[in-house]
Amino acid sequence: MRDRDYLGEFEHIIVLALLRLDDRAYGVTVRQEIELRTDREVSIGAVYATLDRLETKGYVTSHRGDPTPERGGRSKRFFRVTAKGVTAVSRTHRALQNMTEGLGSFGVTYDVATPSR
């Protein structure tokens, strides 16, 4: 990984949702978590497209759960953040903190705890 690999805004939000959801992270729960915490409507297509892109980059992995009768015998695709993904979210978070440092006089704050590595 290059030292300049940063997550885009929506990628950053998706990875944070995955970290919050842990072993309950699949498309629908990711979408719900984002909508709940950001008060932002998100299409399920955008969630899956971003999850696929993050998996291609090596930031997340996925696996299929057991098929369930409620889903007509289909299985859920669960996602987990990789070590590379944790590094990327930490790097992105630090960059945002550095960019907002000292902007309090403009009403800009960014005081979220830094994710652990």
Question: Is position 108 within any domain?
Answer: no
The DSSP annotation for 27-51 comes to HHHHHHHHHHHH-----HHHHHHHH
- Asked if residue 114 has pLDDT above 60, the reply is no
Dump pLDDT digits (tens) for 19-53. Answer: 999 999 999 999 999 999 999 999 999 999 999 99
Question: Is position 81 within any domain?
Answer: yes
Domain count, the chain: 1
User: Which CATH number is 25's domain given?
Assistant: 1.10.10.10
Question: Is position 2 within any domain?
Answer: no
Q: What torsion do the CA atoms of 57, 43, 21, 35 make, to the nearest 10 degrees?
A: 130
User: Which domain covers residue 92, as residue numbers?
Assistant: 9-102
Question: Is position 110 within any domain?
Answer: no
pTM of the full structure: 0.82
Question: Is position 114 within any domain?
Answer: no
